[in-house]
Structure 1
Amino acid sequence: MERAVVGQGAHIAAGSDAEAVARWLAEYRGSPKTLAAYRREAERLLLWLGERDMTLAEMRRDHLEAFEAFLADPQPSSRWVGPPRPRRADDWRPFRGPLSPASRRQSLVILQGMFAWLVEAGWVTHNPFRLMRDKRRRLDNRQGGIERYLEAPLWGWLWGWLDRPPEQGASARDRFEQARRRFVFGFAYLLAPRIAEMSAARMGDFRRREGRWWWQVVGKGGKSARIPVPPDMAKLLEEWRASLGLAGEPQPDDASPLLRALDGKRGIGDNRLYRLIRETFRGAADELESEQGEGARAWALRLRQATPHWLRHTALTHQAQAGVELRYLAATARHARLDTTARYLHAEDEAWHRQQSRHGLAERGGTRQGADATRDEPV
């Protein structure tokens, strides 16, 4: 195959794929979280191409299949997979592990947008993603219903476990960590924040106006929003502040971190918060199996699969099930599109299931099973 000429006819100042991608990333410098996510996916692709001595301009439709398979199983794992490390560390790796189907879709969505920009910039001549016949299914994140959430009974057990009083003789550190876990999970469940919003939250973001509490948050894309704080969250905040030795209500000018490290003063970052939540899920799964044995295996598996974003999905799903109107649910979620929020509505699934239960097999005695068993046979 004749090697593509890098950047021929380009409308950007770049001398390599890395420089061209850096120009694209610069478009997102106003949104640090988005920039970090896009840089991660672009870097993975560039490293993968580098292993094959290929350029972006040489990517074809069949390469996308190979790349998606690589995202699902980065091999050799010693070369690609490792724990979180500083980017310049010798043992830094691009992956923490294989990507889930949802994460692979998100990666392809990001890279599709990158290629579209590079085509407009004249750096490459075509976008291979446009040749994917099942592109809509593969690249559309607006899938059917949300599945990655904890059902109400499982959440009820989990919160009950988190809400247990400390054991007799627990150390000051154990008491602090238990109070922090309880607050983190309660905060996530009651207000449906993203993990970055939780780690960035300040005490003064909670403000009382005309007798009502609100949470002021700067979310995805730098958009500011104001979310109603329910009574349980106001009480949870008061209890968390008491565990830190603080007065019951924060002041509007209090810029100290909401979530604290073990010293009770410093904040905690996204990575530490992520690990804290995953560790809690795993600890809860172990406790559940210890308490209930073999019968709790399915629930324990769900807990071990859960990630911090499951808490947001759980919060929004349970709000929808509690009857919160779609417009208010969308405002809490801070979704730009109502059809994104509508994925959390499971009422139609339940109604469909009830209707379907009317259809059953005839029993040996000739009678029919199901809720509609007494219905007359059709003539």
Structure 2
Amino acid sequence: MLPGGIPTSGAGRIAATSDAQAVALWLGEYRASPNTQRAYRREAERLLLWLNERDMSLAELRRDHLDAFEAFLGDPMPKERWVGPTRARQDPRWRPFRGPLSPSSRRQSLVILQGLCAWLVEAGWLDHNPFRLMRDKRRRLDNRQTAIERYLERPLWEWLWQWLDQPPSLQASRRERFLWMRRRLVFGFAYLLAPRIGEMSGARMDDFTRLEGRWWWRVTGKGGKTARIPVPPDMMRLLAEWRTSLGLSPEPSPDEPTPLLRGLDGQRGVGDNHLYRLIRATFEQAASTLERQLGVDAGREVAQLRRATPHWLRHTALTHQAQAGVELRYLAETARHSRLDTTARYLHAEAEEWHRQQSRHGLAVHGKAGADAPGKQPV
């Protein structure tokens, strides 16, 4: 059960007797989206634990507390109490943080908690929403961006894929070859079909179906919405090689409700946490390799790889599709966005053209034909 004490506010419109129960009811509204529910639970739990340290309830949360809480998210102290590696929630060594949150992650946390408090006000559990008192609320809590920035630019992605695509040595063990093949499939799948991490871990073999000679990927995403995405030839090639390594036929059949991504036994599926760690570890290994190859010349790219998360792969996929000329309506279908303006954040063509035209405007260079001499008066 989440931490939380008895509220000081009046009777509510929900069957709860503690903050923990009230938050649990809010989380229940997201039961159809397990990944969203898990992310929201994490942020709510951090807030309740922080309040619990101060012997406070949600009803006592004031505007000035929000600044202190945001600072705490950026530097959770004492570190030994709050920060640690990923562990099962029941493990006594479990900690709420893997490390300090970045500015964008802190903003996302505040966005989620603003929604929590708004729901609790409507439920009668709280009598006010302190987030509404933030003067710079629009800057802090409007999580919409004018353009997607957390993605790998094409040259860096191409280097990463070449590195991933290099087969292990002939002396490599069977385990090493399996891990290489799986990692290659994970990154290829992420780049070619732009899935969310939960959609990747939940993918089954029979989600890939052929209709009238064309392959499609059937996916159930956020909100339980089911979509069908065209599967490009490169994905079918990766899938065929992966299946062959598992001792299966190259193409999946309609009666294979088995996991796409599998553990070392070749049978059990790979969960979200395992997949997250796999991708993050790969980014770190790639960063170290690039740093050894190019040193300080690749400082920016190395830093990007070390910051990258699994969701960067989705952003990278959609951004590169947009740059390749995929029409906005099809890009929105692949992304499974309900609003076109959400998808439009991946369109960088106008920014590139603006930059190109702006480059025509510059300073005169001495010695260049047509440049005015110093002191010469303009006509």
Same fold flag (TM > 0.5):
yes
Tell me the CA shift for residue 137 of structure 1.
2.0
For 2:140, the equivalent position in structure 1 comes to 138
Structure 2 CA distance for aligned equivalents of residues 109 and 378 of structure 1? 54
Aligned pairs (5 A) from 1:104-183: 104-183=106-185
Separation of aligned partners in 2, 1:346 and 1:198? 26
Q: Report the alpha carbon displacement of residue 188 of structure 1 after superposing the two structures with TM.
A: 0.4
Task: Pick the aligned partner of 1:239 from 241, 266, 283.
Answer: 241
- Measured against aligned partners, the alpha-carbon deviations of 1:8-53 in whole angstroms (never above 9, x if no partner) come to 1322222221122122222222322222111111111111111111
Alignment check: 8 A CA contact 1:327 1:338 kept: yes
Which residue in the other structure is 1:80 paired with? 82
Matches within 5 A, 1:160-309: 160-309=162-311
Could you report, residue by residue, the CA deviation over 1:138-170 in whole angstroms, capped at 9, with x for unpaired residues? 112211211111111111111111111221211
Alpha-carbon separation, structure 2, partners of 1:50 and 1:100 = 24
Q: 3-state SS of the aligned residue for 1:33?
A: helix
Work out the percentage of aligned pairs sharing the same amino acid: 73
| 3-state SS of 2:13 partner | coil
> What do the CA deviations read for 1:107-140 (whole angstroms, capped 9, x no partner)?
1111111111111111111011111122122112
Letter in 2 for 1:256: T
Q: 1:218 to 1:168 in 2, by over 3 A?
A: same
Cα separation, 2, equivalents of 1:359 and 1:23 = 58
Match of 1:335 among 334, 337, 342: 337
Once residues 93 and 15 of structure 2 are traced to their aligned partners in structure 1, the CA distance between those partners, rounded to angstroms, is 32
**Structure 2 SS opposite 1:216:** strand
SS at match of 1:253: coil
How far residue 343 of structure 1 moved from its aligned partner, in angstroms, is 0.8
Among residues 48, 51, 54, which one is paired with 1:52 in the alignment?
Answer: 54
**Which is worse superposed, 360-369 or 100-109?**
360-369
For structure 1, which runs of at least 5 residues remain unmatched after alignment?
370-376
Pick closer, same or farther for the CA change 1:24–1:368 going to 2, 3 Å. Answer: farther
Q: Give the TM-score taking structure 2 as reference length.
A: 0.93
**Cα displacement string for residues 276-309 of structure 1 (whole angstroms, at most 9, x for unaligned residues):** 1111111112222223333223222221111111
1:366: how far off?
Answer: 7.1
- Between the aligned partners of 1:331 and 1:220, the Cα distance in structure 2 is 13
Opposite residue 298 of structure 2, the aligned amino acid is: A
Q: Over residues 185-237 of structure 1, what are the superposed CA-to-partner deviations in whole Å (9 max), with x where a residue is unaligned?
A: 00000000011110010011000000000000011111111100011111111
Measured after TM superposition, the shift of residue 355 of structure 1 is 1.6
What is the Cα deviation at residue 368 of structure 1?
7.4
State whether structure 2 residue 346 is matched by structure 1 residue 344.
yes
Structure 1 equivalent of residue 328 of structure 2: 326
Structure 2 unpaired stretches of 5+: 1-5, 372-376
RMSD: 1.7
Residues 7 and 19 in structure 2, CA contact (< 8 A), matched pair in contact too: no
- Cα separation, 2, equivalents of 1:378 and 1:346: 38
Contact 1:83–1:93, Cα closer than 8 Å, also in 2: yes
Partner amino acid for 1:108? L
Tell me the distance in 1 between the aligned counterparts of 2:260 and 2:316. Answer: 22
Q: Which moved more, 1:88-97 or 1:294-303?
A: 294-303
Distance 1:173 1:41 in 2: 37
For residues 224 and 197 of structure 1, what CA distance do their matches in structure 2 show? 11
- 3-state SS of 2:15 partner: coil
CA-to-partner distance for each residue in 1:37-77, whole Å, 9 max, x for gaps? Answer: 11111111111111111111111111111111111111111
Q: Would you say how many aligned residue pairs link Structure 1 and Structure 2?
A: 369
Query: Within the alignment, does 1:32 sit opposite 2:30 as a pair?
Result: no
> Cα–Cα, structure 1 residues 292 and 126, in superposed 2: closer, same or farther, change >3 Å?
same
CA distance in 1, matches of 2:209, 2:359: 49
Gap change, CA 1:378 and 1:263, over 3 Å in 2? farther
Question: Which secondary structure state, in structure 2, belongs to the residue aligned with residue 114 of structure 1?
Answer: helix
Residue in 1 that maps onto 2:25: 23
8 Å Cα contact 1:72-1:104 kept in structure 2 = yes
Secondary structure of the residue aligned to 1:96 is coil
Cα distance change on mapping 1:248 and 1:5 into 2, 3 Å: closer
Indicate if the aligned counterparts of 2:8 and 2:60 stay in contact, CA closer than 8 A.
no
Cα distance change of structure 1 residues 29 and 160 upon mapping to structure 2, 3 Å threshold: same
> Match for residue 3 of structure 2?
none
Cα distance between partner residues in 1 of 2:370 and 2:62: 57
